[in-house]
């Protein structure tokens, strides 16, 4: 839980905003890939952009267009996307007491609960710092992801494969930079090793998104076990 409340140091605020924007740029730019894949799977530009605007969770979006591209029914694609979005529910349970928003603000913030905004919030020592990290990253990713989706959808395959520009590596690098300071305790290091090992095993065996969900379950399970042990 966050520590004692107080005015957020201006230097700390600038650092959080800078880090959040860096993650937003790295993640949001990869929306170009989704835009190109969406139209190549048979969706229109408006439909592809609507998915980014209304669904706004990359793994679920890619799962949906993947099913459509393979000739599957839209309902099956929607179910696949919902399953991959389960992890966002777990994030919400963790973020709700951390951000301490209520009413309309809490409802609006739910749309910004993604991997990146969660990672930039849970590492903070106060509610205000967590909110700055959440909003900077969440809004930044939302704006850039939707803008780059439109670019990718309009340009189609003319821009080439975004992986050729290293955008997928940039996302992974940004996450590693966020997680590294959290690996100071033996418990966190154990969780990281076990989660990474499970994800690596599942990558060639399961659809995209499942390894991340499984890794999150491992980390959540270890966290709950540690909490019970300290009671």
Position 5 in a domain: no
- Do 142 and 45 belong together in one domain? yes
- Do 109 and 191 belong together in one domain? no
Mean pLDDT within 57-80 = 78
Number of domains in the chain: 2
SS3 sequence, 70-104?
CCCCHHHHHHHHHHHCHHHHHHHHHHHHHHCCCHH
- Do 197 and 120 belong together in one domain? no
91 close to 116: Cβ distance less than 8 angstroms: no
- Do 99 and 23 belong together in one domain? yes
Question: Per-residue pLDDT for 101 more than 90?
Answer: yes
107-145 pLDDT, tens digit per residue, is 999 999 998 899 889 888 899 999 999 999 999 999 999
Q: Which residue segment(s) compose the domain that 29 sits in? A: 10-182
Which range, of 21-35, 42-56, 137-151, 206-220, averages the lowest pLDDT? 206-220
CA dihedral 149, 63, 173, 56 (to 10 degrees): 50
């Amino acid at each position: 839980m966050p520590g004692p409340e107080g005015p957020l140091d201006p230097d700390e605020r600038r650092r959080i905003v800078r880090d959040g924007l860096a993650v937003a740029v790295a993640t949001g730019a990869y929306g170009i890939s989704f835009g190109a894949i969406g139209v190549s799977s048979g969706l229109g530009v408006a439909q592809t952009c609507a998915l980014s605007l209304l669904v706004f969770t990359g793994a679920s979006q890619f799962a949906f267009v993947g099913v459509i591209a393979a000739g599957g029914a839209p309902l099956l694609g929607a179910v696949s996307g919902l399953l991959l979005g389960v992890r966002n529910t777990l994030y919400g349970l963790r973020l709700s007491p951390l951000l301490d928003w209520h009413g309309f603000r809490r409802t609006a913030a739910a749309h910004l609960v993604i991997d990146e905004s969660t990672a930039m919030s849970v590492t903070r020592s106060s509610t205000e710092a967590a909110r700055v990290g959440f909003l900077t990253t969440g809004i930044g990713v939302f704006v850039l992801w939707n803008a780059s989706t439109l670019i990718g959808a309009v340009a189609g395959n003319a821009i080439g494969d975004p992986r050729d520009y290293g955008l997928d590596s940039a996302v992974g690098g940004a996450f590693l930079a966020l997680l590294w300071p959290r690996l100071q305790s033996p418990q966190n290091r154990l969780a990281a090793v076990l989660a990474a090992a499970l994800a690596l095993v599942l990558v060639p065996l399961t659809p995209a998104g499942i390894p991340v969900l499984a890794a999150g379950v491992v980390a959540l399970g270890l966290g709950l076990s540690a909490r019970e042990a300290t009671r």
